[in-house]
């Protein structure tokens, strides 16, 4: 008989705060690099350099004995995630950090919609209302007709949809193979999918560029690990609201380091979206179902 570890809310909150700091650091490093290296090349090098962190998963990958169907699903997820990553890097160097962070909160909402459309999950009235509220939050951020909606904003909206498709596929695969295999296959397929696009626009990176991108890979990996520690210590319903701190840090970072104006509408829209995601997560816990909607941080690059 397996004994479930007792819930430790304070520990879970601590690790989720660390997770938010990790992902904001990733965002800051990419923003700092700016347009010196094409976004698709940055994305490719981030995943290529990050392959070193997959070495512990080699044994599990050899033992997985994947079927042809699983290979196809992993390939499809790799293409979706590669597209999302390219768009995320593109948006990151063109719009404020707070905008990217707030719009990224939409990905779990798209997962919720996709689960109803493709996995046959019931979309109850409360959940439909939460999805509508989240989309209203996106409208508050973008404010079409009242502000210029740049190509960076549109790229981030599409990126959130693609991230949602990626993690919907991950939900299916997580029921069939070990999590370490799911993560490893994602990194491998994303690297392969990004390669031709990166080669097409290749600019020889400097040593400092490579060092920064390796730091991006390392910090992103650390963020996923600390997020796992947070989930192990406390329920998602406890750790989910803590992700709001990531938006606060993104706003402060943009203002203090990158001289970006504080847009109260972006903050308000982000709060509305995050509130919707938190409600969906809470409802799934109340219904005692396995969560379909990944947390906000789970959709990070």
What pLDDT was estimated at residue 220?
Answer: 87
Question: Is residue 234 domain-resident?
Answer: yes
**Look-up: residue for tokens 């750790």?**
239
- Among 97, 82, 93, smallest CA distance to 47 is for 82
- Which range has the worst mean pLDDT, 53-67, 113-127, 132-146? 113-127
Of 256 and 295, which is predicted with more confidence? 256
Instruction: Dig out the tokens for 149 from the structure.
Output: 């909606």
**Packed helices 107-118 and 264-286: angle between N→C axes, nearest 10 degrees:** 40
- Among 299, 298, 283, 300, smallest CA distance to 121 is for 283
Distance CA 145, CA 262 (A): 20
Instruction: Dig out the tokens for 113 from the structure.
Output: 């919609």
Nearest-Å Rg of the Cα atoms of the chain is 19
- Residues 6 or more apart from 170 whose CB is under 8 A from it? 77, 182, 186, 294
pLDDT in tens, 10-47: 888 898 889 888 988 988 888 888 888 898 999 999 99
Q: For residue 3, what pLDDT band results from cuts at 50, 70 and 90?
A: very low
- Among 197, 198, 193, smallest CA distance to 76 is for 193
Of 63 and 86, which is predicted with more confidence? 86
The answer to whether the beta carbons of residues 298 and 171 sit under 8 Å apart is no
Domain that holds residue 253: 9-299
pLDDT in tens, 190-204: 999 999 999 999 999
- % of the chain at pLDDT higher than 70: 89
With 0.85 as the threshold, say if the pTM is over it: no
The count of domains in the chain is 1
What pLDDT was estimated at residue 219?
Answer: 92
Question: Is residue 2 domain-resident?
Answer: no
Handedness of CA 297, 196, 186, 68 (dihedral sign): positive
Q: Can you name the residues that pair with 147 across neighbouring β-strands?
A: 144
Distance CA 26, CA 37 (A): 16
What pLDDT was estimated at residue 134?
Answer: 87
Question: Is residue 156 domain-resident?
Answer: yes
**Look-up: residue for tokens 């347009």?**
35
Of 127 and 137, which is predicted with more confidence? 137
Instruction: Kindly tell me if the per-residue pLDDT of 298 is higher than 90.
Output: no
Question: Is residue 1 domain-resident?
Answer: no
Dihedral pair phi/psi, residue 250, rounded to 5°: -65, -40
The Cα-based distances of 192 to 47, 78, 149, 282 in angstroms read 9, 8, 32, 37
Question: Is residue 45 domain-resident?
Answer: yes
Instruction: Dig out the tokens for 2 from the structure.
Output: 């397996």
Question: Is residue 17 domain-resident?
Answer: yes
Question: Is residue 3 domain-resident?
Answer: no
Question: Is residue 204 domain-resident?
Answer: yes
pLDDT in tens, 198-230: 999 999 999 999 999 999 999 988 887 887 788
What pLDDT was estimated at residue 190?
Answer: 93
Distance CA 260, CA 269 (A): 17
pLDDT in tens, 93-111: 888 988 988 898 888 788 7
């Amino acid at each position: 008989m397996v004994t479930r570890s007792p819930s430790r809310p304070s520990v879970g909150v601590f690790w989720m705060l660390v997770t938010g700091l990790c992902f904001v650091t990733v965002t800051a490093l990419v923003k700092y690099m700016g347009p010196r290296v094409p976004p698709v090349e940055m994305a490719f090098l981030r995943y290529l350099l990050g392959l070193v962190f997959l070495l512990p998963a080699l044994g599990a990958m050899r033992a997985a004995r994947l079927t042809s169907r699983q290979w196809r699903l992993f390939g499809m997820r790799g293409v979706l995630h590669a597209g999302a990553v390219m768009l995320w890097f593109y948006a990151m160097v063109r719009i404020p950090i707070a905008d990217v962070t707030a719009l990224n909160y939409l990905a779990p909402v798209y997962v919720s919609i996709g689960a109803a459309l493709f996995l046959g999950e019931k979309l109850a009235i409360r959940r439909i209302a939460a999805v509508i509220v989240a989309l209203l939050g996106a409208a508050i951020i973008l404010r079409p007709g009242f502000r210029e909606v740049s190509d960076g904003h549109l790229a981030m909206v599409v990126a959130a949809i693609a991230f949602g498709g990626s993690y919907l596929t991950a939900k299916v695969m997580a029921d069939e193979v070990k999590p370490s295999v799911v993560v490893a296959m994602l990194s491998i397929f994303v690297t392969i999918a990004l390669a031709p696009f990166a080669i097409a626009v290749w600019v020889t990176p400097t040593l400092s560029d490579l060092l920064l991108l390796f730091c991006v890979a390392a910090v992103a990996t650390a963020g996923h690990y600390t997020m796992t520690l947070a989930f192990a210590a406390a329920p998602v319903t406890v750790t989910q609201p803590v992700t709001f701190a990531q938006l606060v840090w993104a706003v402060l970072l943009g203002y203090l380091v990158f001289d970006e104006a504080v847009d109260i509408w972006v903050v308000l829209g982000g709060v509305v979206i995050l509130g919707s995601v938190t409600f969906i997560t809470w409802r799934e816990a109340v219904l005692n179902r396995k969560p379909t909607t990944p947390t906000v941080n789970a959709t990070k690059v």
